[in-house]
Structure 1
Amino acid sequence: MVRRGIDAWALGAAVVLGAITLASPLVGVAAWQPAAMAGAVAAGLLYVTCRVLALEPLLERAAGAGRPPLVFLLLPFGLYLALIPWSIHERAPDGDEPWFLLTTHSIAYDFDLDVANNYRNQDSLAFMPRAIEPQPGDPETDDGTIRSRHGAVLQAVMAPAYRLGGRAGAMVVLAALAALGAWLLLDLTAFSQDARARLAAYAIFSFAAPFLIYSQQIWAEVAAVVLAVAAFRWIDRLTGGKESPTTETEGAEWRMWALLALSLALLPAIKLRLALISVALALILVLRLAPARRRRGLLVLAAVGVPSALLVLWSNRAVFGTVLGMHSWNELEVYREPASKLALGLNGLFFDLAYGLIACAPIWLLLFPGAVASFRRNRRLLFEVALIAGPTLLLVASRREWYGGWSPPFRYGLVVLPFLALLLVPLFERRPDLGRQGAEGSAVRSPAAGIVALALVLALLSGALTVLFVVEPGWTYNLADGRHHFLHHLEARTGLDLARLLPSATRARTATWLLPVLAVAVAILAPRVRRRSVAAACAGLPLLFLAALPVLADSLPTRRLEIESAAVHRTGGNQEPERWTLDRTRYPEAWVLPEGSRAEAAVIPGGDRVEIAVVLRVIRNRAAPVTLVARAGGQELGRLTFAAGSDDDWQTRAVAPAPWPAGAQLVLEVPRGNAMPANGLAIDRVDLRWQ
């Protein structure tokens, strides 16, 4: 009764606040829109969560059916659909979205894949406020034909809806695909008899970032999720799951084989790297099949897979001039990459403050205790998830653009996210309590109090971040420079260097490794905590850390300064590399201080004396020396002078140790020259070695 009351209040609040969001510009209070929308989204998330929990008996009754009830498809679809108007209003297509839409436009109106005329006609103005140019890597033939490097599978699916409704129609298709992916995931959880555990995994995947973010944008990875999960679904049925072929007709079995083969064939047609997912799923199928049926499986896979693979390779060869399309064989040589690079990339995929899965939704921290629970209770599940996710994550981690380029978080890992979500089911399962079977009502052991309390806290944090990302959709896009939109605003307002205490794989620091280790340790130990008082204390650790973050930033000694940080006040200059530089991680992030400018930052001293080391390079516009003066407030600490003929490459120069006056700020100044054009210094970072 209480839960039903919460449902009603949450739905009512979502409707009222949504109406205020729509009406506020009409009555002259447009400034209310973000706050009203935030409340509407929060109420909507509360409503769908309560409804999912309330539908547990329905899922239990449908346990023997061939698929979950359709309400579990309609719930996420309704939420995703309701958010589309705000998404269109607040954010123009970004990242690769404009080029997906332009190819869709070409299919819908020109019935071809040649977008050269669409560039000339500026057809992108139909769905965004600016004209776009061909992307680097788009193949162009001698006769002037231009094709998009992004393929055409998703674009062909969106074309009819785009013809009817433009960008909004295409987004409805993506919302439908996302909801279908969530529904299919719930079907995959049928290996568990615990409906509540199944619904927990379903709700986390469907209603938390990053999947909810992608339901509002146009990325091929959403279609890849649907195909990969559907393929696994058919594998389940062909190898003894629900509706197994032993109870179905021969025709039904062949339909399953055809659907499976089609799903596996389409994955690499969307993105070539998704061939790893197809291979992993095919291997799982072969390993699961009984020896008597394995031959048929291999024949079907070969009959469909080999021609499909040849078709994809031939198409790439014809369009790009190479069978790997815009990629190279060197990208597949993951074994040549240093272990440290792979570790940093994997760390970033999960913990990087701008791009990491757990950073955008802390609830995914439960994957680690979920993996431990799966190892204890369902090792086949853990093995198959590792077989699907492992190669893809390793390949992505080996790339310079492991973060997915200009995109929302966890783009390259999104296709394996539903399989990772399966690991949450054993974590939340209620198990028979063998030691108390005789006690009435005590035959089932619920999840430990520690994991329940931790999950509630992480869910609240994830919900808050999800609301933020929906209300400010542009904040899901970060530059690969170690910064985060929300933190950047906080640093600009407070003057505190908060980012130094959080993990970054593009700006590696102590927190990059320390914080993930501590977080994973807390998560793995949480299922061992059964006393509620201890569980509450453990669950409060994430909140305690967030509350302590400003205090720590204002008290821990400053050992490194990133000059481009919002916590640093600069009187001039510019960021380097330029804001929209492609593949930013190839370059050190720096700020250029031209002659006559300075940078000033608050410093927390860690001793009475300090040695300052500066990583920089000279920007030489004329043959003249350049000087960098380091001061502690008004007291000069030292000077670094670069002669006219000195090395202009990146270098580390140090100022001799000097006393540090209490309460002083660090000032780096490049004195004004006596001629133009001005020289300058590009400063990557400043290391402070306290004594």
Structure 2
Amino acid sequence: LAVPWLPGTLPSIALLWTGRMAWLIWLAVALCMVASKEHRLLRVTRPQITAGALAFTVGAIAFWQVAPSVPGGDEPHYLVITQSLLKDGDIRIENNHRQGDYRAYVSGDLKPDFRVRGRNGEIYSIHAPGVSALVAPAFAIAGYGGVVVFLLLLSAAGSALTWHLAWFVSKREDAAWFGWAAVTLSATWIFHSFTVYPDGPGAVLTLTGVWALLRAEREATSTEESMVPWLLHGAALAALPWMHTRFAAIAGLTGALVLLRLPRVPNAAGKALAFLCIPAVSALGWIGYFIKIYGTPDPSVPYGGEPNSLAFIPDGLAGLLFDQRFGLLPYAPVLLCAAAGICVMAVRSRLRRYALELLFVVGPYLLVVSYVAMWWGGRSAPARFFVPVLPWMAIPAAVGWTAVSSRGARALALAALAFTAFASASLVLVGDGHLAYNSRLAYANWLEWLNGSLDLGRGLPAWWREDEAPLFRGIAIWGSAAVAGYFVVRSLIRVGRLQNRGAFAAASALVAAVFAMVSITVSWAASGVGGRAAVPAQLDALRRLSTEPRLLAFDLNAFTRLRRSAVASALHIEPSFSSSDGGAGRNDRPLFVIPAVPAGEYRLRFARRSAGGWLMVGIGRDQFALRTGPLDSGGAPMSLTFPVDVRAIVVRGDEEARRNVQGVTIEPARILHPGERLSKDFARRAVRYAAATAFFMDDRSFPEPEAFWVGGARDSVVVLQPDQPRATITLLLRNGPVENRVMVEAGSWRDAARLGPGEERQIDVPLDRARGATRLRFTTSAGFRPSTADPKSRDDRFLGVWIKVTT
């Protein structure tokens, strides 16, 4: 149903439970139905193995869903170090990048990630080599896929250990399962169970340190004298600094706690020696590593003076926990039960030491993480830097569950767990996992997906580099609402009509919904916004017109049915000015960015203070513009026709235009029906050439102002849209300095040629006149690097064939 707005004067918050937010209503209904009957916990014969198997299954399904998006961020850089270790026996990565070793798992070009060269002038990655060495055997056997399987198995083992330790402390299986689920079903753990970052393996190694603490307690009442387990515990902690420098805090503090516990166990001296021998050697080697490569024992030298300050800590801690994009709790509110569990442990004499030990390690680690202006973790799933201590949270979460005696508290805990599972499923199952990867310059991706009609981004805590007020204000508002909601739910226990389990669950869900609506409304008022978000809702309506073959549309003002073709032209989209960063120049920052625009015809009308200046309109953040024109006084619109969905409409302007432009209105003239679409994918870039516009559907081609290169030894899809209707178009193919076989395909037509070094050939490609654009697939068998062919060149791209649209 394409309805861009509703008539009447309903408050904005009344639209909260529309869109995909309505799924939460059905989730609440299902939970209430389940809660209406009493259920016994299913006893499992081998719960640790079951917990590990379930964790592996969840992680494997998640990887299968998000596979098109990974490896991404810093993952390829860790894998390049792995390849350097396997191929060269070193960690000097410049030659591996030059050779394009990473092309086994990355389609585009990848530059070395470094800040400081070694004292020998060589490039060493900014990233620690620990996880790269850990996954090297798996990569040698089965490449990137083998690495993923290995990491899934490792995280599954960690998940099994999580269940065991939660049970050991809580002494109850139901509590152990709750603590296990609170961690394992969080998006933070799921995504880092298979991504090539040090945080997932680091979490498992940290958990072995917790195991050592509990082992010491158990052995204090036994006669066991074996030193082998303690040797292994020491080795695990010794590996942590090699994973990442920030893990040194965890290793040192956990090791100190273990040594404090060891005097009470049998053969204490022997076990202490076994525990310390590997860490002692490893610590010397770790410091020697930096001296050897950089000439200094300072572990921070590879980061090249990354900004750090005590002033960053409040923002970093608050952001790591509460920020809507990179925080832990917005996606996993069930982990609030871990915070409550720590308080319970602190007041119970038997468990107090566990709480103090946890705080002794986790507190300083979080201070270290937030001390550096990088707590968001780059391009990664939420709360990556919290992952190393995340499994530890299962223990206080389990203890918190054992302390829950009222129906109200238990209902809220289970509701939080259900929402956590819903959030994780949304991030995993939608859009190849792209919802999990946020930008510091925009609100959380999944909020618009949940409900595009409302400005949910301004309703939740958000950290901005220049303004911390929305973060702390949001924490105060939502924290106050959570506390008030808890006491209201507790008071419902005494209501006679709510003694039935299902009725009480329904009432609790209603209270949670009301307080969420209140929190969002108060946040909007504090931000000075009304809460409506017309642009995302209008764009969502256009996307549905483009992708759904059967739709009903109504004009609710006139109570009449609308023709499908009339819906798009009824919309007038007026986006706000963009806050996105641009390129090197001041004028590179876009004026407007309208994301994920479906194929169709559009007119852009600009509001202006006065005439003057030039505007450039394209679909990517590059130098290419599809339309360039003056901001004139006549107000003539710019017209755009997209044969495929595009990444965005990006409007830039020169300095004079930036002063004069006051706004833009986008008028969709026509949206392509599902049957008219050339591709389900979207164009990443577009370049207007002499006789046609080329839309690049992947990152395996390299557009240039006069022509484009297709990458070497790969295929790439390009959609050509001729300026005038025609039956054929001529392409000039020029091969690189290597033998190559080039194939061009357009539907059922294809042409293949074997080209010698530097050889040229012209081909006439048939065009689809009915659609006005044609989808072409180019395939090359070989390639070259300009930097290899010409020592003076710095171009490391792996190129196949050069293609020019002539006539």
Superposition TM-score, scaled by structure 1 size: 0.66
Number of aligned residues: 523
Q: Write the letter of the residue equivalent to 1:467.
A: A
Change (3 A) 1:537 1:571: closer
Measured in 1, the distance between the counterparts of 2:247 and 2:89 equals: 27
Aligned to 1:172: 149
Does the 8 Å CA contact 1:368/1:524 hold for their aligned counterparts?
Answer: no
Change (3 A) 1:148 1:353: same
Measured in 2, the distance between the counterparts of 1:555 and 1:102 equals: 49
Q: Write the letter of the residue equivalent to 1:479.
A: S
Question: Which of these residues, 232, 235, 239, is aligned with residue 210 of structure 2?
Answer: 232
How far the C-alpha of 1:294 sits from its partner, in A, is 5.9
Aligned to 1:86: 65
Kindly report which structure 2 residues correspond to 1:86-105, keeping only aligned pairs within 5 A, or say none: 86-88=65-67, 90-105=68-83
Deviations 1:133-183 (A, max 9, x none): 10132645646x433222222222322322333222111111111111111
Question: Which of these residues, 541, 558, 562, is aligned with residue 528 of structure 2?
Answer: 558
Structure 1 residues without counterparts, runs of 5 or longer: 1-34, 63-67, 431-445, 582-586, 601-671, 684-691
For the pair 1:57 / 2:54, whether they are aligned, the reply is no
Does the 8 Å CA contact 1:409/1:476 hold for their aligned counterparts?
Answer: yes
Q: Write the letter of the residue equivalent to 1:187.
A: H
Change (3 A) 1:555 1:528: closer
Does the 8 Å CA contact 1:572/1:597 hold for their aligned counterparts?
Answer: no
For the pair 1:420 / 2:424, whether they are aligned, the reply is no
How far the C-alpha of 1:509 sits from its partner, in A, is 3.2
Aligned to 1:435: none
Measured in 1, the distance between the counterparts of 2:178 and 2:108 equals: 42
For the pair 1:518 / 2:480, whether they are aligned, the reply is yes
For the pair 1:464 / 2:422, whether they are aligned, the reply is yes
Question: Which of these residues, 393, 398, 406, is aligned with residue 366 of structure 2?
Answer: 393
Measured in 1, the distance between the counterparts of 2:343 and 2:324 equals: 25
Change (3 A) 1:574 1:449: closer
Measured in 2, the distance between the counterparts of 1:235 and 1:553 equals: 44
Aligned to 2:493: 531
Question: Which of these residues, 302, 305, 314, is aligned with residue 279 of structure 2?
Answer: 305
Q: Write the letter of the residue equivalent to 1:79.
A: V
Deviations 1:404-444 (A, max 9, x none): 222211111111111222111111117xxxxxxxxxxxxxx
Q: Of Structure 1 and Structure 2, which has the larger fraction of its residues in helix?
A: 1
How far the C-alpha of 1:208 sits from its partner, in A, is 2.3
Deviations 1:491-526 (A, max 9, x none): 7x43x4322221012253354332342255358758
Question: Which of these residues, 127, 145, 148, is aligned with residue 125 of structure 2?
Answer: 148
Aligned to 1:322: 296
Measured in 2, the distance between the counterparts of 1:464 and 1:287 equals: 42
Kindly report which structure 2 residues correspond to 1:540-619, keeping only aligned pairs within 5 A, or say none: 540-546=510-516, 558=528, 575-578=579-582, 592=591
Measured in 2, the distance between the counterparts of 1:337 and 1:560 equals: 36
Measured in 1, the distance between the counterparts of 2:448 and 2:78 equals: 30
How far the C-alpha of 1:547 sits from its partner, in A, is 5.3
Aligned to 1:76: 55
Measured in 2, the distance between the counterparts of 1:213 and 1:160 equals: 22
Structure 2 residues without counterparts, runs of 5 or longer: 1-19, 499-503, 539-572, 594-604, 610-652, 662-807
How far the C-alpha of 1:116 sits from its partner, in A, is 2.1
Does the 8 Å CA contact 2:478/2:519 hold for their aligned counterparts?
Answer: no
For the pair 1:188 / 2:165, whether they are aligned, the reply is yes
Q: Write the letter of the residue equivalent to 1:349.
A: L
For the pair 1:286 / 2:265, whether they are aligned, the reply is no
Does the 8 Å CA contact 1:124/1:132 hold for their aligned counterparts?
Answer: yes
Kindly report which structure 2 residues correspond to 1:381-530, keeping only aligned pairs within 5 A, or say none: 381-429=354-402, 447-471=405-429, 472=431, 473-489=433-449, 493-494=452-453, 496-506=454-464, 507-510=467-470, 511-518=473-480, 521-522=483-484
Measured in 2, the distance between the counterparts of 1:70 and 1:215 equals: 17
Measured in 2, the distance between the counterparts of 1:233 and 1:450 equals: 33
Does the 8 Å CA contact 2:322/2:330 hold for their aligned counterparts?
Answer: yes
Does the 8 Å CA contact 1:573/1:597 hold for their aligned counterparts?
Answer: no
Measured in 2, the distance between the counterparts of 1:380 and 1:221 equals: 26
Superposition TM-score, scaled by structure 2 size: 0.57
Measured in 2, the distance between the counterparts of 1:593 and 1:58 equals: 56
Q: Write the letter of the residue equivalent to 2:289.
A: S
Q: Write the letter of the residue equivalent to 2:316.
A: G
Does the 8 Å CA contact 1:267/1:278 hold for their aligned counterparts?
Answer: yes
Change (3 A) 1:195 1:214: same
Does the 8 Å CA contact 2:441/2:579 hold for their aligned counterparts?
Answer: no
Does the 8 Å CA contact 1:104/1:156 hold for their aligned counterparts?
Answer: yes
Measured in 1, the distance between the counterparts of 2:401 and 2:592 equals: 54
Name the SS for the 1:132 alignment partner: coil
Change (3 A) 1:411 1:682: farther
Does the 8 Å CA contact 2:341/2:400 hold for their aligned counterparts?
Answer: yes
Aligned to 1:608: none
Change (3 A) 1:486 1:331: same
For the pair 1:223 / 2:195, whether they are aligned, the reply is no
Does the 8 Å CA contact 1:87/1:470 hold for their aligned counterparts?
Answer: yes
Question: Which of these residues, 195, 201, 205, is aligned with residue 183 of structure 2?
Answer: 205
Name the SS for the 2:293 alignment partner: helix
Measured in 2, the distance between the counterparts of 1:462 and 1:58 equals: 24
Name the SS for the 2:160 alignment partner: helix
Does the 8 Å CA contact 1:498/1:550 hold for their aligned counterparts?
Answer: yes
Measured in 1, the distance between the counterparts of 2:608 and 2:409 equals: 46
For the pair 1:367 / 2:338, whether they are aligned, the reply is yes
Aligned to 1:263: 236
Report which of the two structures shows the higher radius of gyration computed on alpha carbons. 2
Does the 8 Å CA contact 2:481/2:515 hold for their aligned counterparts?
Answer: no
Name the SS for the 2:345 alignment partner: helix
How far the C-alpha of 1:75 sits from its partner, in A, is 2.2
Measured in 2, the distance between the counterparts of 1:380 and 1:277 equals: 17
Q: Write the letter of the residue equivalent to 1:180.
A: A
Aligned to 1:246: 222
Measured in 2, the distance between the counterparts of 1:245 and 1:344 equals: 44
How far the C-alpha of 1:276 sits from its partner, in A, is 0.8
Measured in 2, the distance between the counterparts of 1:487 and 1:501 equals: 10
Change (3 A) 1:387 1:288: same
Change (3 A) 1:499 1:403: same
* % identical aligned pairs: 24
Change (3 A) 1:97 1:392: same
Measured in 2, the distance between the counterparts of 1:562 and 1:299 equals: 64
Q: Of Structure 1 and Structure 2, which has the larger fraction of its residues in strand?
A: 2
Change (3 A) 1:107 1:136: closer
Change (3 A) 1:106 1:245: farther
Change (3 A) 1:272 1:538: same
